[in-house]
Amino acid sequence: MKKTILLLLVLFTGAMQINAQPDEKTEGEIFMDHLRKNWDDIHDVIMRYHYEDPWLKGKVVINMTWTQGRLTAGDIMENTTGNESYAKDLVIVMESWMIDELPGEWSSALPIKTSIKGSEDPDFAEYGILTGKLTDMDGTPIPESGLVLTASNRTSLKSIALHTNREGIFIETLIPPGTYSLSCNVKGYKPLTIEQIVIEKGMHCKKDIQMN
C-alpha cells in the first residue's frame, strides 16, 4: 500500500527509564515499537482526511499521558493543519490502544507532521489528484483491493495501479491532466470500469465507486 505520509517525527519529552538495564527497553522504545506495528491505525486517519482534502498539511503535537498501558490524556499542544477534527481523531485512535508493556505512568510529546504524497515535488501544481472510496452496494468499504487508472487517449502513459486501505479509500497524486478510465476487478464482485474521469491541472477529482 502506498503511504500518503511525508514524514513522521517523534520527540519524547517525558519521563524515561534513565536507569534501564541494557536488555530492557525504555518507555519511548516500547511506544515506538507499538506505533510501528499499529501504524495503519494512524495512516487510515490521515487517508480519511486526505480523501476529502488532499491539501491538508502541517503538524499536530500531542501531549500524551499513558497510565497502565492506556492513553489517559491526549492534549493537542499544537495544530498547524487548521483542522481540529483531524487532530482529535489521531488522539481517538491512540485511546483504543492497549500497550501492556507500559506499566505505571508515562508522559511524552508526539509530533506528527504530514502532507500528501508528492506535495514536495516542484511540479506538484501541474498535476491532478484522484481520491475515492470503493464500497459494495450497501456502502460497506472494500478494503485492500486493487484498481487500475488508464489514460484514454495517451497510449504513451503507463497505467497506474491504485490500492484501497482498510476503509476502502484510494488516493493518487501527480497524475498528468487528461481523461482516464478506472478499472475495478475485485474478487467476489462484477468487474467494473468507470469511463471519462477527467483529471485537471492543480485540481482534485473525487470518484466514489460501488461494486455489485
| SS3 state of residue 131 | strand
Contact 130, 197 (CB under 8 A): yes
Residue 115 to residue 119: CA distance in whole angstroms: 7
Give the pTM: 0.86
> What's the pLDDT score for residue 157?
81
- Return contacts of 189-195, CB within 8 angstroms, 24+ apart: 189/136, 189/142, 195/152
Query: What pLDDT does 129 receive?
Result: 98
Q: What is the pLDDT of residue 122?
A: 95
Side chain identity at residue 168, one-letter code:
G
Is residue 198 a contact partner of residue 151, using CB atoms and an 8 Å limit?
Answer: no
CA dihedral 36, 167, 94, 28 (to 10 degrees): 10
**Residue-level pLDDT at 22:** 53
The answer to whether 115 and 57 have CB atoms below 8 angstroms apart is yes
Q: Quote the CA–CA distance of 65 and 4 in Å, as a whole number.
A: 28
Location of C-alpha cell 478494503: 143
What is the CB neighbour count within 10 angstroms for residue 85? Answer: 10
**Residue 39 phi, psi (nearest 5):** -60, -30
| Beta carbons of 164 and 134 less than 8 angstroms apart | yes
Residue 31 confidence (pLDDT): 96
Which ranges of the chain have pLDDT less than 70? Answer: 1-23, 154-155
Q: Scan for cell 493537542, then name that residue.
A: 76
- The Cα–Cα gap between 33 and 189 comes to 37
Instruction: Kindly report the length of the chain.
Output: 212
